[in-house]
Amino acid sequence: MEPEISIQRRKSRQIHVGSVPVGGDAPISVQSMTNTDTCDVDATVAQIRRLEEVGADIVRVSVPTMDAAEAFGKIRKQVQVPLVADIHYDYKIALKVADEGADCLRINPGNIGREDRVRAVIQSARDHGVPIRIGVNAGSLEKELQRKYGEPCSDALVESAMRHVEILDRYDFQEFKISVKASNVFMTLQAYRKLATQVEQPLHLGVTEAGTFRSGTVKSAVALGGLLLEGIGDTIRISLATDPVEEIRVGFDILKSLNLRKKGVNIIACPSCSRQNFDVIQTVNELEARLEDINESVDLAVIGCLVNGPGEAREADVGLTGGTPNNLSYEDGQKSHHVKQEDLVSELERMVRAKVQKMRDDEAKGIIARSE
């Protein structure tokens, strides 16, 4: 195997969103946003808990009204994950959610209005020890910039972001992160590349209004994958018109593909052909569903025949290669035992879970040894 290429990440200032470090040498965090009515506290809490279960590091909640701000406070008390309060224009809502325990304020200082209101929001963030996220979107650029550039472009996105940055600089407030999102892949790439050279703050990556599950996943993988390979990006959100839980799963899959985060079972599977000795597609789909609860990093190779099977299986933590009359399993690079067709899914699940349990036991022994 070729040695892994190490991605040299852009040096950025580290901030904290609740207990989650963002920027610096912190792991790239994965976040999503609720799509429930924030005033429906029970529904919003239930969705946030589902996001927590699949590993969300941060969750953003829209707070469009003062009633929603009241609800936000009740939600904050019922969940563990850090919450970003998403506010537009109304500075009083920003002040309210800061008092209610928001871990970050998503509000653009240039959109707040009078100077005294800007000062109040920044002071509130400072007093509560919470950062601000500047969020620029191609679809909501200032009218002046729309006239200047004629249409959304990367330069317009960066200029808009820097206007907000200048306001925070004026008040010597440096605890912020920035996003410059567009639905166009090339505009997104260019905007983040330009912004990365102008600020030291962490960058929140995303393709806005990316689309449906399939097309949005592809757009996000291309744009965010390109930036992450260049070392740009400190936290990501995959915007998909689907269940927000899928945003977290896709986000981690992108990071896993670049060896930037290790989480969950990484399934390596052939696309299948007439050489397969079992139904590869059905097998891996069932395994993926059964193993979703695992957070530990495990490589599982499922290959349908003897052409590429042994090589891939030997490189994985747990592997299987199709064979006649029985398939051959591998564990930690070594041949293990034969598996009958009817036992494939259950046996591979057993092997993965046994591997995970051993990892947990080894970790527990290490903790005990260090404490003695």
Binding residues for [4Fe-4S] cluster: 270, 273, 305, 312
Spatial contact of 86 and 103, defined as CB atoms under 8 Å apart: no
3-state secondary structure of 210: coil
Binding residues: 270, 273, 305, 312
Q: For residue 344, which phi and psi values (nearest 5 degrees)?
A: -55, -60
Q: For residue 359, which phi and psi values (nearest 5 degrees)?
A: -60, -40
Distance CA 141, CA 201 (A): 21
Spatial contact of 103 and 129, defined as CB atoms under 8 Å apart: no
Distance CA 219, CA 185 (A): 7
What is the crossing angle of helices 244-257 and 213-229, to 10°? 40
Q: Identity (one letter) of the amino acid at 225?
A: G
Neighbours of 35 (CB within 10 A): 13
Q: For residue 279, which phi and psi values (nearest 5 degrees)?
A: -75, 95
Q: For residue 268, which phi and psi values (nearest 5 degrees)?
A: -105, 120
